[in-house]
Amino acid sequence: MTVRRRLAAIAGWRRWLGAGIGIKRWLAVVFVGELGLALGGAFALRSLYRDVVISGPLQSVVYVLTLQFLPYLVRALILAGLGVGIFAFASYRVLQVLMGPYRSDGDDQPLIEVIYQKRFLARGPKIAALGGGHGLSTLLRGLKEHTSNLTAIVTVADDGGSSGKLRDQLGLPAVGDIRNCLVALADAEPQMSALFQYRFPGEAGPTSLAGHAIGNLLIAAMTAVEDGDFEEGVRRMNRVLAVRGQVVPATATPVVLHAALRDGSLVEGQSRIARMSGIDRVWLSPENVRACQDALAAIAEADVIVIGPGSLFTSLLPSLLLPDIRQALADSAALRIYVCNVATQTGETDGFDLSDHVEALERHTASGLVDIVLANNRTTAAAGSVGTRESVRLRWPPAGPRPARLVLDDVVDPASPFHHDPERLAAAIVRIAEREGAARRRSGVARSA
């Protein structure tokens, strides 16, 4: 065994007694029980020595087995060390047997890391994240390393590709973004991604599987198993895949996104609107669609609510346009964070700066809906314009009576300057949540004093 592996093994054993595992108190109770058992055995041996006369060859055997040729202190140390070693080894083997069924095939993480991860994530903050597209899945990929109390509330307004075909053929809400979020929250993400994102090749047709993603078909199949209950079908997919947290649709009703452009023209359909420039406002049909109860419950129970990142008009606003969700956000006591994109989106937000994003968000919802705006603070030459895309300029504050507080952080992906880095983005959100939580606790103490 190399020196590095020896040090890792020692660190692993020390981790068992670290904070957050919850095993020290029960080890103490077990040791108390073992101590009582040992004392009982000691009294029995003492009585045997005093009251039972052993002679002949058996006397020599007892003399050697009980280490009577050694001083009392040395005997005590040897037996205690032997007992602790056997107890530790047996306890470790018992934990391996108990945890074995919960470890995925090929998982070579040390057992202590598996246990610590589960315990740590279970104590994480309750976070509800709203959005869709690649932005939401990027956010979830980072946040799942900080908490398992995570709910993704996903837009269902997409009408293109495989999602659009299933919507037309089966009357389902869009499932593509839900699929991406399930993959992002899966423990075995690379394997799950390879399976769920696989698309059947071939020529497209009314009854052809060509172009359909396997994940979309599985969600559609689970909905059919649940007698057409889309919300329950997605719930079952969460349980079947055992994702960290849960993914819920914003609504179980198929909705259509509409847009009015500044030139007065109207556009229907999320896939078409995403290519348009000069968008003035967007709305949904049918109107007053009910939101899913799981989504409303997640917002009500959340410590932190994150809106974005994602396409402003086609990924974020479709969920926020639902009256139930908009009211739940307004009533929530949670910290509400809007994550602005690091770059403009071709067509949809050409020329938008930071204030433009926030003003459009509030124009479609309500002023003061978010408490904090998180934006990227690192712009480099690599993050300049490519085609019609450019880094979002940090003009602040936006117009309005009650602007949110601005927090700047380095959240951009170094390898892709127009996208967020999952780890950096999640770390920035957690830092904000911890800082704001501490500030709220201090203000609560001050008010009660």
Q: Residue 219 class from Cβ within 10 Å (0-12 exposed, 13-18 middle, 19+ buried)?
A: buried
Residue 236: the pLDDT is 92
Phi, psi of 93 (to 5 degrees): -65, -35
Which structure tokens are listed for 352? Answer: 């938008």
pLDDT of 8 above 70? no
124-448: CATH homologous superfamily?
A: CofD-like domains (3.40.50.10680)
Confidence grade of residue 154 (pLDDT, cut at 50, 70, 90):
very high
Per the DSSP assignment, residues forming a β-bridge with 408 are 375
Per the DSSP assignment, residues forming a β-bridge with 416 are 413
List, for residues 304-336, the tens digit of each pLDDT value.
999 989 999 999 999 999 999 999 999 999 999
Residue 327: the pLDDT is 95
Alpha-carbon distance of 207 to 198, in angstroms, equals 18
Give the best-scoring range by mean pLDDT among 44-53, 96-105, 340-349: 340-349
Closest Cα partner for 132 from 153, 161, 163? 153
Task: Please name the residues in contact with 95: beta carbons below 8 A apart, sequence gap of 6 or more.
Answer: 111, 115
The DSSP code sequence of 401-437 is: SSPPEEEEE--EETTEEEEE-HHHHHHHHHHHHHHHH
Question: Against a cut of 0.75, is the pTM above it?
Answer: yes
What does the mean pLDDT of the chain come to? 82
List, for residues 390-414, the tens digit of each pLDDT value.
888 888 888 777 788 999 999 999 8
> Alpha carbon of 429 to those of 146, 208, 411: distances in Å?
10, 43, 10
pLDDT of 21 above 70? no
Q: Can you tell me whether residue 73 is helix, strand or coil?
A: helix
Lowest mean pLDDT among 172-176, 369-373, 389-393, 415-419: 389-393
What is the arithmetic mean of pLDDT over 251-259? 94
The larger pLDDT score, comparing residue 240 to residue 129, is at: 129
List, for residues 329-338, the tens digit of each pLDDT value.
999 999 999 9
Which residue intervals of the chain bear CATH 3.40.50.10680? 124-448
The DSSP code sequence of 326-391 is: HHHHHH--SEEEEE--SB--TTTTTT--HHHHHHHHHHHS-TT--SEEEEE----GGGS-BTTB-B
Residue 49: the pLDDT is 61
CB atoms closer than 10 angstroms to residue 393: 14
pLDDT of 212 above 50? yes
Alpha-carbon distance of 376 to 394, in angstroms, equals 9
CB atoms closer than 10 angstroms to residue 205: 9
